[in-house]
Amino acid sequence: MATARRERYRKQTREEAKAVALAQLAESGTAGISVNAIAKAMGMTGPALYRYFASRDELLTELITDTYRDLAETLAQAVADAAPTDRFRAMARALRDWAKRQPDRYLLIYGTPVPGYHAPPETAEIAAGMMRTIVDACSAVGDADGATAHGATAGPGQQPLTELEAELARHLEGVRSWVPGEEPGGELKGRALRTWTRLHGVISLDVQGQFTGMGFDPSVLFEAEIDALVRGG
């Protein structure tokens, strides 16, 4: 019983420390995360909190891993709840909605890298799982494997590949796998990669307030980008 109580207390303390760290993140970014400051906010000493997190990097790893997992689960759930023909749009919208709800966590994993910090392999595995979700969502848009060369017949809603798109597809055929499960073809890899970069491009600018003062609604731009991706544009 005593061991169980200690484990519960340890878990509660770690969760409280992470919540305080997220508040610091929202206030001053990753540079503001301090184990000693977290301990003070919790009514503890720095050395006492170091019994729960051996270093600031260990705490950052927990925050980053939790964030990746939360986003991965959000995207997977959005796809699971949508009809097959709507999965791509559901995935894209879930990604933006998640980022807009918690921009600090979004920038923690997609913003400026933390100087001197090296993420563990586990985060790369979770990120690869998210890319699998994107690949699968892209495969539901037209016949992704039917257009592998310039002028090839694409699936419904998909335009024939341009020369540069075909070159990218051929290039990605020889690149090591960066998604778990069945290896996608080069065209599908290329489409997923372009989707990932274009969606994150709009979201990152939006989250950082780069559209402020431009006089338009970023959500309309995002929907237009989704539509272009669905059409193969």
* Confidence at residue 149, expressed as pLDDT on a 0 to 100 scale: 35
Q: How far is Cα 203 from Cα 196, in angstroms, rounded to an integer?
A: 11
Closest CA relative to residue 141, chosen from 157, 161, 162, 165: 157
Contact 57, 117 (CB under 8 A): yes
- Mean per-residue pLDDT over the chain, rounded: 88
Mean pLDDT value of segment 155-176: 81
State the burial class of residue 14 (Cβ atoms within 10 Å of its Cβ: 0-12, 13-18, 19+): middle
pTM as predicted: 0.86
| In the chain, % of residues over pLDDT 90 | 67
Closest CA relative to residue 195, chosen from 152, 167, 151, 165: 165
Q: How far is Cα 131 from Cα 79, in angstroms, rounded to an integer?
A: 13
Q: In angstroms, how far is CA 216 from the centroid of its own chain?
A: 25
3-state SS class at 161: strand
* Confidence at residue 126, expressed as pLDDT on a 0 to 100 scale: 92
List beta partners, residue 150: 161
Q: How far is Cα 169 from Cα 125, in angstroms, rounded to an integer?
A: 23
Structure tokens at 36: 């000693």
Residues 195-210 pLDDT 10s: 999 999 999 999 999 9
Q: How far is Cα 143 from Cα 155, in angstroms, rounded to an integer?
A: 4
Q: How far is Cα 139 from Cα 7, in angstroms, rounded to an integer?
A: 44
Instruction: Give the model's confidence band at 147: pLDDT under 50 very low, under 70 low, under 90 confident, else very high.
Output: very low
Residues 42-93 pLDDT 10s: 999 999 999 999 998 999 999 999 999 999 999 999 999 999 889 999 999 9
Q: How many residues are recorded in the chain?
A: 233
Closest CA relative to residue 92, chosen from 197, 178, 180, 185: 197
Q: How far is Cα 141 from Cα 5, in angstroms, rounded to an integer?
A: 51
Structure tokens at 134: 């994107």
